[in-house]
Structure 1
Amino acid sequence: MNHPLAALRPPLAALGMVIGLAAGLGASQTHADPVRAMPVRDFIDTLAVVTHVNYTDGAYVNVHNVADDLAWLGVRHVRDFVPGGSPPFDSYVYLARRGVKFNFLVRTNIDESIAQAAALNTAVPGSVAAIEGFNEIDNFPVTYNGLKGAAAGLALQREIYARVHGTPALTGVPVYDVTGYDPKLVDTRARSADYANTHVYPQNGEQPTYNPNGDRWLPAAIGSVKKFDLPMVVTEFGYFSMPQSGWYMLGVDEATQAKGVLNGYMDAAAAGVKRLFVYELLDEKPDPQKKNAEMHYGLFRNDNSPKPVAYAIRNLTTILNANMLHRATAASRDALAYTLADMPVSAFSFLLKKKDGRFVLVLWNETPIWDRANGTPLTSPPASVKLDFAASIRRVDVYDPLVSADPLTTYRNQRQFAVDVPDHVILLEITPGDSAGT
């Protein structure tokens, strides 16, 4: 196991936190200045997934499937343990040559772990994107020079940091922090980590950021390490697709898993998280009787068939990567003026920009998606949100990545219109009025 099955309820002090997301109860979101957009390439670089290439008795034994699945998704960043004795080192070289970028968790032997990471980065330059300290030292304790518990894990993290930054073959490779210690008891991560790190698993089938009962899973996790004033990663996040009922559970059906994961990716990017790793790529082993929740976190089932969440991620990256046949004349513009009216408190927006000059306005409404008492999905009516772009827009294509990579609706030469925002991410691809056509 590589994650907690019972994440703690966020502290009361953090429940009101929503970081970097735009929301307003029944009011307009009026922007005095145009909104600056994140480049699509930067957003796609935040998408990541956990793999277990080191597991040789399940779905991960077929390393070709791992590479093909990642390419099909349009995701290249993975989190895994550094190569060990099994599978062979060549498996990691193969993945790296297919474009996979590794965040490597260290093993117990730090020297060997760093040497293996350095060897891969030498064999395929740029394939090691980060080195991460020990995983969840509260669940998997370590010892060091007579120290135990968090003290040992924090001391080892300083060793990892020094060794990585002292290894020429890993020059420029950042160090992600250890997980599983109480940030409230630690004042600084200087000379210990380049990135703050946290894990979050929304409980009770709840949305990642907004829930009417006050739970703010992702913002609370981000808030817990914000004081370190470092860029941030979330190296585990997810839902397993084995429906559950009750309190402090993680299981939902496959359709709800797709909503939660897609919203989580967008919440994290909008909050400034450098990279969010969804747990995990593949259901590790068959579990037809659904007795082992651990076997159902995958984006793909054990037989390598895509779940709805895999289709949704592929649709998302396909839509974002698609460009016009001709570059837009407004390609140098990095911001867009718009107003959103009647946005509920549970709804969010985030602006992206394609390299051809078009914008993508992302909207999502984090209303309840799971009936925790009965263990069944919920669907709330969409919110009708009014958009005003301050000037006529040449074209707006509306996409729902849970449905298709093709537009569901197209608006032409309009300044104002209303759009229904559901409980999951939708995309409005905007061709400004001064842009060239396709």
Structure 2
Amino acid sequence: MQVDLAKPADSFVDSIGVTAHVRYSDRAYWNYDGILKPRLLESGIRHVRADVQEGWTKPIVISRLKDLGKSGIKLNLVVSPWNGSPENARRNAIDLKDMLVSVEGPNEWDEKNPIRYRQQDFPKGLELFQGDLYRAIKSETQLKNIPVIAPSGFYYENFKSLEQLNLPCDYGNMHSYPGGQPPSTPRLTTVFTHWAKQICPNKPVMATETGYYTATNNLNDPWHTPVSEKGGGRYINRLLFDYFNRGIRRTYLYELIDQGADDDRESRFGLVRENGQPKLAFTAVRNTIALLKDPGGEFIPNALRYTIQSPSTVKRTICKSGMADFTWCCGMMWSATMRPGKKTLSRFGRR
């Protein structure tokens, strides 16, 4: 007999976010009314991660973000020196304050050398920028309660150098791509979560990028292999539930829309194709959110006693809403050397 304490179903739904490159004027993201907005709202995802570039796109992007905010979408505003200064970020954050729930430090600066800030390269420039950004947000009365997320890293070998820096933050950060494997690979614990906690000690963690790409002919990187669309559709919910079970406060999937249709890895992370057609991962997330969303629902924690016969690879999450209790079960479906994905039982059990 297994006994688990149920969690509010809506807290799981609220833990889901997605990166949306609202400012990309040369990608499908620029088709705001035809693809970006309708697909985001259809998904049921409440949180977007986006940045604002100083320049001609800025007023359009600000207007579109505010429009999403009117539909209940909340914003994690990413701030990097190649997009603007901490003072720019403060002004943008004030402008977007009605939908703003967090501000995130620079995105994978170590992958973008030779970017400099105050005449300093990475990592010293990163330390200076994050400090200035934190103070710019916290010194503003309208923003002082907005949490600031730590910057993200790209190369494993640079994580140790980030640990040595003074990076003021309210949340740790990780870009924890499973690399085509199940979400709970050893790297999640030994690398990603570990360094997020080292860089921002004694603070909770968010995953501001994670996900799977579907360019199945791209096998150039043995550490980051693709999945089939079928495999991605099955893994994506397992990833979200696994991170939720681990206490990751919010998980931002990368990304909402494909940036191309070729076999380039960076073009094929989207939940929907560049023509706006949903992938199976989009459908999986949308259906799960529709099943579990319960905003404002009364929740009294209680335990569920149950018996399940399953292999050790099966993970479970017990969620309670005003209507029912749910469990989630899934197993391994896909590997780059074993295509197509293996069939397995993936279902909700209702009590």
Alignment match, 1:373: 337
For 1:106-161, what per-residue CA distance to the aligned partner results, in whole angstroms no more than 9, with x for missing partners?
1422211221121121xxx2x01110000001102342334321222122111111
Aligned equivalent of 2:5, options 17, 27, 36: 36
Q: TM-score, normalised by structure 2?
A: 0.87
CA contact under 8 A between 1:83 and 1:117: conserved in structure 2? no
RMSD over equivalenced CA pairs, Å: 2.4
Task: Report the more deviating stretch, 340-349 or 71-80.
Answer: 340-349
Which of residues 226, 232, 236 is equivalent to 2:197?
226
Distance in 1, matches of 2:269 and 2:177, equals 11
Separation in 1, partners of 2:303, 2:107: 41
- Is residue 92 of structure 1 aligned with residue 61 of structure 2? no
Equivalent residue in structure 2 for 1:153, among 81, 102, 126: 126
1:360-379 Cα offsets, whole Å, 9 max, x none, are 122222x2512x236x2231
Residue 271 of structure 2 is matched in structure 1 by: 299
Structure 1 157/318 Cα, relative in aligned 2: closer, same or farther at 3 Å?
same
Deviation at 1:47, TM superposition (A): 0.7
Q: 5 Å matches for 1:121-270?
A: 121=97, 125=98, 127-141=99-113, 142-180=115-153, 182-185=158-161, 192-203=168-179, 205-209=180-184, 215-220=185-190, 221-227=192-198, 228-244=201-217, 245=219, 247-270=222-245
Greater than 6 Å deviation, 4+ residue runs: 188-191
Query: Higher mean Cα deviation, 265-274 or 340-349?
Result: 340-349
Q: How far 1:190 sits from its partner (Å)?
A: 7.3
Unaligned runs of 5+ in 2: none
DSSP 3-state at the match of 1:319: helix
After TM superposition, list the pairs within 5 Å mapping 1:276-287 onto structure 2.
276-285=251-260, 287=261
The answer (yes or no) to whether the contact 1:361–1:428 under 8 Å persists in 2 is yes
| Structure 1 gaps, min length 5 | 1-28, 210-214, 383-421, 431-438
CA distance in 2, matches of 1:190, 1:353: 40
Counterpart position of 2:317 = 350
Conservation of the 8 A alpha-carbon contact between 1:259 and 1:309: yes
Q: CA deviation at 1:265?
A: 0.7
Tell me, yes or no, if structure 1 residue 47 matches structure 2 residue 16.
Answer: yes
Q: What is the TM-score normalised by the length of structure 1?
A: 0.71
Specify which of 321, 326, 331 is matched with residue 293 of structure 2: 321
Answer whether contact 1:232 1:274 (CA < 8 A) is retained. Answer: yes
Aligned CA distance change for structure 1 residues 377 and 351 (closer, same or farther; 3 Å): same
For 1:373, the aligned partner's letter is T
Q: What's the secondary structure of 2:189's corresponding residue? A: helix
1:334 aligned to 2:301?
yes
Secondary structure of the residue that 2:236 maps to in structure 1?
A: helix
Cα distance, 1:97 vs. partner? Answer: 1.4
* AA in 2 matched with 1:379: K
Q: Deviations over 1:314-368 (max 9, x none)?
A: 1101111379xxx9xxx76412232445442312111111034x21122222x25
The answer to whether the 8 A contact 2:131-2:167 is kept is: yes
Is 2:228–2:334's contact at 8 Å kept on the other side of the alignment? no
Distance 1:322 1:143, change over 3 A: closer
Whether contact under 8 Å (1:79, 1:103) holds in the other structure is yes
Higher helix share: 2
Identity of aligned residues (%): 23
Q: Equivalent residue for 2:330?
A: 364
How many residue pairs end up in the alignment?
334
Looking at structure 2, the residues matched to 174 and 322 of structure 1 have their Cα atoms a distance apart, in angstroms, of 25
Q: What are the superposed Cα offsets for residues 271-327 of structure 1, whole Å, 9 maximum, x if unpaired?
A: 000111111101124x2xx2423221111111111111111111101111379xxx9
C-alpha distance after superposition, 1:189-210 (max 9, x if no partner): 877000000001112x21111x
- Structure 2 CA distance for aligned equivalents of residues 92 and 341 of structure 1: 44
Determine helix, strand or coil for the equivalent of 1:41: helix
Q: Name 1:428's counterpart in structure 2.
A: 349
Give the corresponding residue for 1:60: 29
Matched residue type, 2:9:
V
